[in-house]
Amino acid sequence: CLLLTMVQHHLLLSMFWFMLVEGVGMYISLIQVFSSHISFFIPKAILLGQGLTVGFVLIGYFAFGTKTYKIGNVVIPKNEYVSAARCFIKAGGMPYYITFIVPMLGIMIANIIIIVLVIRVLNTSNKNKENRNYQKEARAILGVSIILGLPWIPGFLMTFK
């Protein structure tokens, strides 16, 4: 169960990381078209993302993993990382918030900022009001928001009671 929890934790954080990478790539290609170029952007993003996500998983396990409590002569192991009811991070505990919710929140906020900038560029690039195709623009915005993982926001908000 511990291994499954660690793999799920890593894969979910990796998924959100790559949504951020897509957003940064979109930002660079749409907003900073000629002013910046990052050589080997994808390999650097992969290495950084895998390192960060594995780091969060290891911090979650080693900093908040199994702790033993001694009551009299009895030693009781207590795991703060893995939930006893299901094979995932224990919801509501410190490892859940520090190693899962905070990184996801940071990525979602960055993606919201990126989509606002992209929408602003889309609105200012088409100055001819007569020939604007609002349906096409709405589809583009919907597609961008899905790529950046913004439909995850309601699920993210449901984690708070």
pLDDT(160) > 70: no
Q: What are phi and psi of 56, to 5 degrees?
A: -65, -40
Could you tell me the sign of the dihedral formed by the alpha carbons of 105, 87, 79, 57, in that order?
A: negative
pLDDT of res. 159 = 67
19 vs 4: CA distance, rounded Å = 23
pLDDT of res. 96 = 81
pLDDT-based confidence at residue 25 (cuts at 50, 70, 90) = confident
Closest Cα partner for 46 from 78, 12, 14, 92? Answer: 14
Average pLDDT for 19-44: 76
